[in-house]
Amino acid sequence: MSNHGNGEAEPGAQMDDRLKQVESYIGRMPSLSTTVAKVLDICNRPDTSPNDLNRVIALDPVLTGKVLHLINSAYYSLPDEVTSLTRAIIVLGVNTVKNLALSTAILEALGNGGNNKALSMDEFWTHSIGVGVIAKSLAAMRGIPAIRREEYFVAGLLHDLGKIPLNGVFPDDYCRVMALLEEGAAESSTAAEERVLGLNHGRIGVLIADKWKQTEAMREVMRCHHDPSAAKDEWRLMVTIVSLADDCDHLFRQRGSQDLSSGDLQIVRLREETGMDAPAIAALRDAVSDEIERAKIFLSIAGKA
């Protein structure tokens, strides 16, 4: 409960109790399946081949079905049906298969997110996909090698995962968080969460990343996307690009792309830090809309039972 109904979190013991409740919620979440854990492990090796991946995925009929469904979907629009798993992995690429496996695991564990009173899961995943697609596009603009750009998509997709346990455990309090944001009484979701709960989704995202043994890069994105300057040097560019993608997705959906050159100091600062100019970012709006629709197909396949 909030303190005397004023939307402020009580300090000390109550915050510790809240953290324990969230830790218990995350503890009950499914671990990554053995198959998904092996896929991630194999894909993180520099010398991975499609055959290595094939040997693991072939033992999992569900994931095999998803890979074949994806390669034969409108996402790729290939002229002929692909029926060979090895062929599908070669055409899709190791990173895409890794992302499909990871997305499948995430949606199995968190897809419903419990209570929808404060946080609409449809809106949550639409925003997450948008941030992933924009982050991948910004990475391309920044000259990040193609083989690493899929990592930016996943980073964008996962950046807000910490919101789901907060919403699931404290639905009434999270309604107050959303109300503060809608009223303009808090400058960010993190600030609103701190005021009401004494916790924020960055801190909770790290707990999820640790449970699922995610890379340090993903951990830093979840922890610092509202404050890229706090990220470790090695991952600061990725965190900053995801942070910029987060802001762009909100702006694109609120009022189009015309305001990116001025007005929003956060966007201006992030643009300067990543060395990107406003017209190029504004031009992304139309370019990413088709990609976002394709990514929704990707996520719908990952989420199918």
- Banded pLDDT at 304 (limits 50, 70, 90): low
Q: What is the pLDDT of residues 125-168, one digit of tens each?
A: 889 989 999 999 999 999 998 878 888 988 999 999 999 999 99
CB atoms within 10 A of CB 72: 16
Q: What is the pLDDT of residues 66-76, one digit of tens each?
A: 999 999 998 78
pLDDT at 1: 41
pLDDT at 179: 92
- Banded pLDDT at 4 (limits 50, 70, 90): very low
Give alpha helix (H) positions in 186-277: 189-197, 201-211, 216-224, 236-255, 265-274
Tokens (6 digits) for 95 = 């990173």
- Banded pLDDT at 11 (limits 50, 70, 90): low
Average pLDDT over residues 71-90: 92
Q: Does the structure show a pLDDT above 50 at 124?
A: yes
Average pLDDT in the chain: 85
pLDDT at 48: 86
Buried (b) or exposed (e) across 259-291, using 16+ Cβ within 10 A? ebeeebeebeebbebbebebeebbebbeebeeb
Q: Domains in the chain and their CATH numbers?
A: 3-30+113-300 (1.10.3210.10), 31-110 (no CATH)
Model confidence pTM above 0.85? no
- Banded pLDDT at 104 (limits 50, 70, 90): confident
Q: Does the structure show a pLDDT above 80 at 305?
A: no
**With 0-12 CB in 10 A as exposed, 13-18 as middle and 19+ as buried, what is 211?**
middle
pLDDT at 2: 42
Q: Does the structure show a pLDDT above 70 at 114?
A: no
Tokens (6 digits) for 185 = 């009484």
Can you tell me the distance from the alpha carbon of 158 to that of 193, in angstroms, rounded to the nearest whole number? 18
pLDDT at 205: 96
